[in-house]
A and B are shown apart, each in its own frame.
Chain A
Amino acid sequence: MPQPRARIVLAEVSRREDRADRTRTELAQQTRVGEALVRGLVRAQLALALRLSLVVMIALGGLPWLFAIAPSVSEVTVLGVKLPWLLLGVVSFPFLIGVGWSYVRLAERNEQDFTDLVQRPER
């Protein structure tokens, strides 16, 4: 007869879990430490989102203004296509995807930092 499966817990891991649990409790119970941690995370994520939207605002939002004050820019022809058509019709899409991709990477890194902080509070 096979033995019932036993749960084996390594001592080291279990000690670390204790510490992590303490921080989790602080987060969940809204202690001052927990609150400060969450505020820091929210601020970091918001700053990241705002920085990247600033990039888009300058790069894309500046175009109508640029075309308006410097009409000669619109006359430039690249590969037989007028620059505004190329920028808006083609280049803007990979640009948006690139910004989105870097956001996902950086936002996940912020979250990883936060998770590390919560799970290893002594470091």
Chain B
Amino acid sequence: MGNALVIPAIVAVTLLTVGIGFYGLRLARTTSDFLVASRVVSPTWNAAAIGGEYLSAASFLGIAGLILKYGVDVLWYPVGFAAGYLALLLFVAAPLRRSGAFTLPDFCELRLGSRRLRILATAFVIFIGWLYLVPQLQGAGLTLSTVTGSAYPVGAVLVAVVVTANVALGGMRAITFVQAFQYWLKLTALAVPAVFLALQWQADARPAVTPPDGPIFRTATAVVVEHPATLTFPDGEVREVRAGETLSFAPGDPVPEVSGVATDASDWLLPSTAGDDDRGLFATYSLILATFLGTMGLPHVLVRFYTNPNGAAARRTTLVVLALVGVFYLLPTIYGVLGRIYTPQLLVTGQTDAVVVLLPEAALGSGTTGRLLAALVAAGAFAAFLSTSSGLLTSVAGVISTDVLGRGSVRGFRLATVIAGAVPAVLALNVSGLDVSQVVGLAFAVAASSFCPLLVLGIWWRGLTDLGAAAGVLVGGGAAVAAVLVTVVGPPLTGWPAVLFAQPAAWTVPLAFTVTVLVSIASRRRVPADIGATMLRLHAPDALRL
């Protein structure tokens, strides 16, 4: 890649992030400023910050890549990522804010008064946080190596260092401004090129997205094979390719089918049907459940609610966030679809996550427009890595500083940040083979099976006990964690076991709810004595100030 504009764009985003961070640092005077921005952040800023923090590498790069590869079935990812905020709004937002809890462990202690449950929740917050941080750092490494040809560890370490330093020095106040800025940057970085891409598609006389004979190469393309694969050509020829081999295609050549990728037009264009694949339907519902219910259990999402002044503001903020992420998620689909036309070689190489970064130059040529847009997209991608990692790191560090180190001071928070940032950085360097979008999906599944039952039942059901909550988190969350470990490090599986472990939410979430309810009923003498007062605090309108 010879685009000289990409590196300055990435450097500019990084410097702006650090710069706004230091501007915020000058304003941060007290521990309260540092951790919760003293609750003076306005709902619009706060909503943009939540949106900025939420739209991660998986949203910015992963969704378009998945759509390019698998087609309509994976549109459930963006729908679910947005719908997660609706579930959060309906069941959690206002009562959680009124509870006064800053983190999930705080909520456990406030609602159930159990230290041991708090420790269990702390362990899950740290696990989910790290599980979500690793793919962000990986995404940074892969993007930087795709657009600049640098080595993989450079991007991962760069993002880890910038984010750790920024969070440790600036804290939450700075992060709010940084995140809000990054939401608008990410939206611009996808929206502006999308307009140019759509115009280019018009100017090219609207080439068909799914030509009758499958996708074709529009220009002469050379593909270097990185992993051995089996290619099936449309004329029936089957060919094994080895790593390092170079395949050349002339304009108009059909794209060969790579094992496991939906090249066939109808597979890509139409949802999977009942007749041919029950497992597909199960996986779809599992994904829906994980994303709808997982958002509320993500540690970096909840921390944000504490910066709202009251419950009603938390509700309004959540609605604005839903609108902001809804607008954003209209865009990746355009990249995934146009990628079928302009970057079909990614279907052969399998590096479909690169489609957003490569599409502007592939479609608009490497003239000034194409290169400027490519630089803009790369800047947006970096904003995605920086903002999500910052939010995750803030919340993991917050939990470590209060629950593991046991200090509430600014110095303790800084030490915790370094610890919280170092671990995923080391992990990211050692596991470059993991699939970014899949790991993010697994983090949602773990959150949905551990914290979702705890929050929903804790807020709405008087009968929840500490034993029931702990059992639900251990059994449901534990089953989801086990599924994650089997998928990530276990042996390759096929058929039903593969689906059950790769998309576990459809069985782990009901399991977690059932265990929580049954154990709570069995131990109903342990219902906290002050449950009436707690319910009043969670649900009484803010105007009454009870």
Interface residues of A (CB under 8 A from B): 24, 27-28, 30, 34-35, 38-39, 41-42, 45-46, 49, 52-53, 56, 60-61, 64-65, 67-69, 71, 74-75, 82, 84-85, 88-90, 92-94, 96-97, 99-101, 103-104, 107-108, 111-112, 114-115, 118
Contact of B535 among A38, A60, A107 (CB under 8 A): A38
B534 to nearest A CB, angstroms? 10
**Is B526 close to A, CB under 8 A?**
no
Question: Are B271's CB and A96's CB within 8 A?
Answer: no
Question: Are B318's CB and A100's CB within 8 A?
Answer: yes
Knowing A38-B536, A93-B326, A111-B541 touch, does A103 contact B274 (C-beta < 8 A)?
Answer: no
Interface size in chain B (residues, C-beta < 8 A): 47
Contact of B330 among A24, A90, A96, A99 (CB under 8 A): A90
Contact of B544 among A56, A84, A101, A115 (CB under 8 A): A115
Question: Are B274's CB and A68's CB within 8 A?
Answer: yes
Interface residues of B (CB under 8 A from A): 72, 75-76, 78-79, 82-83, 85-87, 89-91, 94, 269-274, 281, 284-285, 288, 312, 315-316, 318-319, 322-323, 326-327, 329-330, 333, 460, 532-533, 535-536, 539-541, 543-544, 546
Question: Are B540's CB and A41's CB within 8 A?
Answer: yes
* A27–B79 alpha-carbon span in the complex (Å): 41
Question: Are A56's CB and B83's CB within 8 A?
Answer: yes
Contact of B540 among A27, A30, A92 (CB under 8 A): A27
* A41–B274 alpha-carbon span in the complex (Å): 43
Complex interface: chain B residues within 8 A of A92 (CB): 79, 82-83
Question: Are B271's CB and A64's CB within 8 A?
Answer: yes
Contact of A68 among B271, B288, B319, B322 (CB under 8 A): B271
The residue on B at minimum CB distance from A41 is: B539
Question: Are B533's CB and A30's CB within 8 A?
Answer: yes
- Can you name 13 A-B residue pairings with CB atoms under 8 Å? A27-B544, A42-B535, A49-B91, A56-B83, A71-B273, A88-B79, A92-B82, A93-B326, A96-B82, A96-B85, A97-B319, A97-B322, A115-B543
B274 to nearest A CB, angstroms? 4
Contact of A103 among B72, B90, B270, B326 (CB under 8 A): B90
Knowing A68-B271, A71-B273 touch, does A88 contact B541 (C-beta < 8 A)?
Answer: no
Question: Are B86's CB and A38's CB within 8 A?
Answer: no
Question: Are A100's CB and B539's CB within 8 A?
Answer: no
B34 to nearest A CB, angstroms? 31
B308 to nearest A CB, angstroms? 13
Question: Are B288's CB and A61's CB within 8 A?
Answer: yes
Question: Are A24's CB and B539's CB within 8 A?
Answer: no
Contact of A104 among B78, B319, B536 (CB under 8 A): B319
Question: Are A96's CB and B86's CB within 8 A?
Answer: yes
Contact of B322 among A64, A69, A100, A114 (CB under 8 A): A100
* A113–B326 alpha-carbon span in the complex (Å): 31
3 smallest beta-carbon distances between A and B, as pairs:
A93-B326, A68-B274, A67-B271
Question: Are B270's CB and A96's CB within 8 A?
Answer: no
The residue on A at minimum CB distance from B94 is: A107
Complex interface: chain A residues within 8 A of B270 (CB): 67, 71, 74-75, 82, 84
Complex interface: chain B residues within 8 A of A104 (CB): 89, 315-316, 319
